[in-house]
Structure 1
Amino acid sequence: MGDTAAIDETFKRLQSHKGVLGVIVANADGIAIRTTFDNELTVQYAALVTHFTVKSRSVVRKLDPENELKFLRIRSKKHEIMIAPEFERNCEYYLILVQDQAMGV
């Protein structure tokens, strides 16, 4: 997953943005590798978001087999969830950022 110092720096940078509630990196199985949330929220977000992302990726591919999902943004009344999936050969990771909708972009 890369250099630990670079990952730490990325987490710090993301957390420093106004309104960010938490950041998670999850693997293809929906298991968090790194998180700033408590265990309960981490498990919930990681599992549900990775499942949703896989479904979204399938929709994009079915609409255009040469296209690829690069980023997802889910906005609700309270929160905004931003997902940056990384699909490489035999390796999938999901960067999940949750922010307060009132503070978001």
Structure 2
Amino acid sequence: MVRDTPLFSRTHVLILLCEAEEIIERIKSHKGVQAVLVVNQEGVPIFTSSTDEFAIDHAALISQLAAKAKSTICTLDANNDLTFLRIRSKKHEIMIVPDENYALIVIQNLVSSTESDTNCGNFKGT
């Protein structure tokens, strides 16, 4: 006999939430991480490691940028999809992992150029 069961039990949801919290804590522990955001499809933050004001301001704009990038990728190749977007400015690096219903956004302060050279093995290119 097969019983009707919900897709996710309450215990399963709690386990997933604990795993998500562990992952977010691990991301936050990286050097220079300023904020970790999880946003819904509308760009509304549903989790933030920063202030609410910072999260609201950044989530909406970054979500719009990610949506435009996703649209561009699909326009160029209908069989392709955006899986990761990384943007680097003079001060920050923004990493976006879009999903069907949510997106993970990490904003990281850049390390100084001397630290960066050390971390990259002083690679100067040819």
Alignment partners' CA distance in 2, 1:34 and 1:93 = 11
Q: Could you tell me which amino acid in structure 1 is paired with residue 110 of structure 2?
A: Q
- Note the aligned Cα RMSD (angstroms): 1.5
Gaps of 5+ in 2: 1-12, 120-126
Superposition deviation, residue 102 in structure 1: 1.8
- Equivalence map 1:8-19=2 (5 Å): 8-19=21-32
SS of the residue corresponding to residue 96 of structure 2 reads strand
Higher relative contact order (CA 8 A, sep 6+): 1
The alignment's TM-score, normalised by the length of structure 1, stands at: 0.89
Compute the TM-score of the two structures, normalised by the length of structure 2: 0.75
Structure with the higher fraction of residues in strand conformation: 1
Query: Once the two structures are aligned, what percentage of the paired residues are identical?
Result: 41
Aligned to 2:88: 75
What residue in structure 2 maps to residue 7 of structure 1? 20
Q: Choose which of 85, 96, 102 in structure 1 pairs with 2:98.
A: 85
Q: How many residues are paired up?
A: 100
Shift of 1:40: 1.1
- The 5-angstrom pairing of residues 1-105 of structure 1 reads 3-87=16-100, 92-102=101-111
Runs of at least 4 residues off by over 2 Å: none
Could you say which structure has the larger radius of gyration?
2
Deviation by residue 1:55-79 (Cα, 9 ceiling, x = unmatched): 1101000100000000001100000
